[in-house]
Amino acid sequence: MDLVKNQDGAILGCTALCMETGEICYFKSKATILATGGAGRIYASTTNAHINTGDGVGMALRAGVPMQDMEMWQFHQPALPVRAFW
């Protein structure tokens, strides 16, 4: 759900929602890797998973992580509606 930082801005871990119980859990760590699946669901027509909503990008931005080339989202063209021209 979000990254947890100390007073100096260092990331200490994250909070997450337990899918089984609905409880919010805290995971303390020495290193944190975000592997959240991207944001393919920003497009109306996509083959991306329903959970790829960009939440990981939001977590990183709120934590102050610098971003680069954010306009380069993966786009899978077969998800577009097909119109035959022949």
Q: Which residues of 39-48 are buried (b: 16+ CB within 10 A; e: fewer)?
A: bbeeeeebeb
Higher pLDDT, residue 3 or 42: 3
Give the residue numbers spanning the domain of 60: 35-81
For residues 24-53, average pLDDT: 86
Between the ranges 3-7, 55-59, 81-85, where is the mean pLDDT highest?
3-7
How sure is the predictor about 72, in pLDDT bands with cuts at 50, 70 and 90?
confident
3-state secondary structure of 55: helix
| Judgement on whether residues 40 and 62 belong to the same structural domain of the protein | yes
| Judgement on whether residues 40 and 71 belong to the same structural domain of the protein | yes
| Judgement on whether residues 23 and 59 belong to the same structural domain of the protein | no
Residue 2 is predicted with a pLDDT of 93
For residues 31-36, average pLDDT: 88
